[in-house]
Amino acid sequence: MPRLFGTDGVRGLANRDLTANLAMSLAQASAVVLTRGRSADARRAAGRRPTAVVARDPRISGEFLTAAVAAGLASSGVDVLDAGVIPTPAAAFLVADSGADFGVMVSASHNPAPDNGIKFFAAGGQKLPDIVEDRIEAMLDGERLTPIGADVGRIRRFADAEDRYVMHLLGALPNRLAGMHVVLDCANGAAAGISPEVFTDAGARVTIIGADPDGLNINDGVGSTHLDKLATAVVQHGADVGIAHDGDADRCLAVDADGRIVDGDQIMAILALAAAERGALRQRTLVTTVMSNLGLKRAMDAHGIKVVETKVGDRYVLEALVEHGLSLGGEQSGHVIMTDYATTGDGILTGLHIVAEMARTGKSLAELASVMTVYPQVLVNVRDVDHHAMATDEGIAQAVAAAEAQLADTGRVLLRPSGTEPMVRVMVEAADQETAERVAQSLAGTVRERLTVS
């Protein structure tokens, strides 16, 4: 059977793939797995129940799924702090800030409204490693905690959840945003009730779009996956910058004053240089994934900053940051992790730091982003192939070697089998778009020819 947990929790079509029964079972299983250990034993010895922070984004299915999660936890003897609709990074922060044993976020991030998902945070607010997720999945058919009477958990509102998070964000600012005009696109998602307040309190003049969530319009033509409206609004209002969140606000992409997109790689370049100048970039090292643009690595090399690469997924970026004691990393998609302030990608925090650097230097976003030359990047998904056979196919290996020799130091090639479906992703970067497309299509043809199942 395929693994229930994906790259970011359990996700699927709400009420078909992700049902109330599954949500309750996951909560009950997590209560068994995530409350084990010496700290749990000490807590029980002191007569205290374990505690979990539970939150959601505003999509309508989050209402019944969160209720199911809370019921599963309380029935397992876990006290629930219901934080309501808040961003995913806010939930992670509150787990750490409140001293909770773990947290549960009900969100499908940048996916459309019919989808939903459940992700877990360990004590301290960090995402779970694969091995712990596997334990929760294995426990779905295992033992349950079944307290009775006064030992069942209680469910209560986390009354000051938003205020704590807002104060945290403002405290993480290196300088105020005075004089900056910012257009915020909140994706009709979890950022709508927080991001405008924070940017205003930080001193910016704020224009808002995508901040009217109704449970059905999350990510619908707005947010970090749909930047056209933000680009238009920035130009129409004569703003300095546009900041786009996704549905749960763990991502941030930006738009400059002329409406040009500034992606996660460019954002990391800006923040890495700013942190290095302040002496805050630990070991002068940035963590990225293998999908980050070659131009980012070249820009970091030029400024004496080392780059560590991980496989795709912000949790793998976090693992590398923690393992090496580093402070900054992220993904091209806009997940940026600043470990001095957060345990996960935080789109509001990232946006604040972008605008803070503009305010500090007096430079436009375009000027700041120009430190990095973006190499044309072409991605081709080759579907319905035996992706498991790619690693041992000599013909594909030879084609990749030939492409790398052709590109030399002006580009790179990456072939990556999907972890969830019969597909190989072919990515090629080159000095010009025509070369990138030609090499990518040639490699895709080789993959299709060699791996298509007859």
Contact in structure between 189 and 57 (CB atoms under 8 Å): yes
What torsion, rounded to 10 degrees, do the Cα atoms 229, 234, 237, 238 define?
-160
Tally of CA atoms within 13 A in the half-sphere of 364 that contains its CB: 13
One DSSP character per residue, 313-328 reads SHHHHHHHHHHHT--E
Going by the DSSP 8-state scheme, the letter that residue 308 receives in this structure is E
CA distance 185 to 218: 11
The residue type found at 25 is S
Contact in structure between 395 and 415 (CB atoms under 8 Å): no
Rg of the chain over all Cα atoms, to the nearest angstrom: 23
Helix axes 20-33, 130-139, angle to 10 degrees: 120
Is 250 annotated as a binding-site member? yes
Question: Which residue out of 61, 75, 109, 195 is catalytically annotated?
Answer: 109
61 is an active site residue: no
Alpha helices by DSSP H, 38-173: 38-45, 61-74, 88-98, 130-139, 161-171
Contact in structure between 293 and 265 (CB atoms under 8 Å): yes
Q: Is the dihedral of CA 198, 201, 203, 205 positive or negative?
A: positive
Nearest to 193 by CA among 86, 79, 120, 64: 86
Phi, psi of 102 (to 5 degrees): -165, 180
Residue 285 burial (10 A CB sphere; 0-12, 13-18, 19+)? buried
Distance of CA 445 to the CA centre of its chain: 32
Is 212 annotated as a binding-site member? no
Is 301 annotated as a binding-site member? no
Q: Which residues contact 94 (CB under 8 A, 6 or more apart)?
A: 53, 55, 81, 83, 86, 100, 103, 125, 158, 161, 164, 165
Residue located via tokens 């250990």 = 37
Is 248 annotated as a binding-site member? yes
Going by the DSSP 8-state scheme, the letter that residue 126 receives in this structure is P
3-state DSSP percent of the chain in helix, strand and coil, to 5? 40, 20, 35
Nearest to 133 by CA among 115, 143, 119, 117: 119
The residues annotated with a catalytic role in the active site are 109
List residues forming the annotated binding site for Mg(2+).
109, 246, 248, 250
List residues forming the annotated binding site.
109, 246, 248, 250
